[in-house]
Structure 1
Amino acid sequence: MSHSNAILAPAGRLKLARCVVDGHLPLRLAAERFNVSVPTAARWARRYVECGEAGMLDRPSRPLSCPHRSSVRTEHRVVGLRTSRRWGPARIAYHLHLNISTVHRILHRYHCPPLRFTDRSTGIRIRREHARRYEYAWPGEMIHVDVKKLGRIPEGGGHRSVGRPAGEANKRTRNSAEGVSRGRGLLRGYTFIHHAVDDHSRYVYSEILPDETKETAAAFMRNAIAAFAAHGVKIQRVLTDNGSCYRSRLFAQTLTDAGIRHKRTRPYRPQTNGKVERFNRILLEEWAYARPYTSEAERQACYQDFIEHYNRSRPHTALKGASPASRVTNLPG
């Protein structure tokens, strides 16, 4: 900050302006006396005429208008997607056809906190520098396989749609009608969703099945191999966790017959199979708990539409906004 009595401080500007306006001193002589340029002397004289002594203060450098700034409607759409769907800047930018930096500035302008402070499903934060990221070079080089177990919605709706008391009553009615069966790992109150996610394209093949036994897992794997082969994708490796169905001889023989190498994650390290674990989170946020359902049949009826949307339309942040289908070149349509 300059001294208050410096030549171009507010006091010096006032003296200059008064010499020109009140003393009728020519601009050139006033500029020479105060050791400034003629345009500078003219500017302070003009401000003195327009605003008086208040015009001698510094004006903010912020422009009066910004024609390239996003509209208020666009800003409200960005904030609305952040609060309602808990999307990051990249996902919002792909959805609204904006630049990621633009979305980030809008979120910062509205003081939106980072997702790790608001999304309970993230759990404990893992530092980014410790994360080891990889991607195989072509489709089929690595397929991530996993099972997601979800509680079935009773008839009339669960507690998410009708509240805790009514949901518990519907659940008890269902359990009394069906009975609880725990045989060979079966539990009728749950449904099991089997996934096969391609590492390179993130293309997913999924089925909703009644259990996670070795016979079911092997049959799903045969269907997944045939589904990927129909699109010209030859599976070379399969990565699973250490579940009992994946450690069975039947599952191993299924992969051996197809010429596929089987790899398993290290125990208690789900991060190794992170791509399918991330799909499980997307599954919960955008399908399983995206809206209230009144029955399990209603939720499952929407599943194939969700899978079609994920594979063909949904922008994937890891693919820079492209859909998984864009990396599988032999898909019909």
Structure 2
Amino acid sequence: MVLETDPETCDQLKDWIGHELIEKDPDIASELIDYVLEILRGLPSVSDKKESGFDAEDLVKLQLKGIVRNPETMVEQYPSRMLALENEEKASRPTSSVKIMHIPIRFLKKEQIKAQFRAFGAIEHCKVNMLERQAVIQYKNESCAIRCTKAATVFFQNRFVKAEFFHGILEDFEGATLISTEPQKSFQIPQSPSPPTPLVSSPEGNDFSKRIQQVQGVQQAIFENNQRSNESFKKNFNELFSSKEKLLRAHQSLLQNLRRKTLDLPPDDTGTTVEQLALEFEELQTSMDKLSITPEAMVNIKLRKLNMDHPNELEMKDARAAAGKKKRAKKSTVLRKKMRRKR
């Protein structure tokens, strides 16, 4: 089974692989790191299997030979390193508390905090630090905190306001308590009865204008959501395209290295080296198929990117549609001539 890792774990693995690479050129190293990581990820899925008389670990070591300093040590250390990273991931799980930073001072009020963060779930406690302009909000469960940290909205209409998980103890956070579910005794001051205000009937036009504003607000919200989704899709597609290009360049460099090895074979070779090179080529071909970086797949991705960036440059012309357009143009010309003659 291929191990699934989060971005932080993946970055740590890439740093570890980068220190073990023989090639220190930044451009080439960045391409080789992804290839080495893909080989190591596939290691658990091919363990205890035999292919053409070679052990799976030997095949991985053979692929890593010439790329890293010590392939044997890397293959041995990979499971223990992955186990340690998994333990770190378990220790940093999300909590039900969220820490809000860089809040403008005018919004550090109970009503403002409730209006902004009550939409993600029920708030049990909230403490505010005026000096640091921070607030800690404790929700009823973790799902509310996750929704708050992953929300795409801009808090308080300020892009500098950030939300992250709070792993500390709420009592240790220095600040004043704004919201608490514990009942508190309050003293009521008797107030003099105010004179009754006359009821003023609102005209029908106010209801109509409110409905118009609601419809406009809904349309604006739908438009903004569509814009954000389109921008995020375009950004993700560009990142996917750049990563696939890096992987393709890494595979191309490995194929060139394999070609040099094949050309340097001695004439009196017994055939063992040829079998090893053939296995390396099959592994590279399988890896390219799994990563969808074959020439056909890359051409399709490039066409999609070109059509996304410049939609008017890939205009597909249909012969039938062109003939129909030409025929309609002739008819319109004949009709214009007839109209002129009548005049």
- Scaled to the shorter chain, the TM-score interval is under 0.3
TM-score (norm 1): 0.19
TM-score (normalised: structure 2):
0.19
Greater share of helix residues, 1 or 2? 2
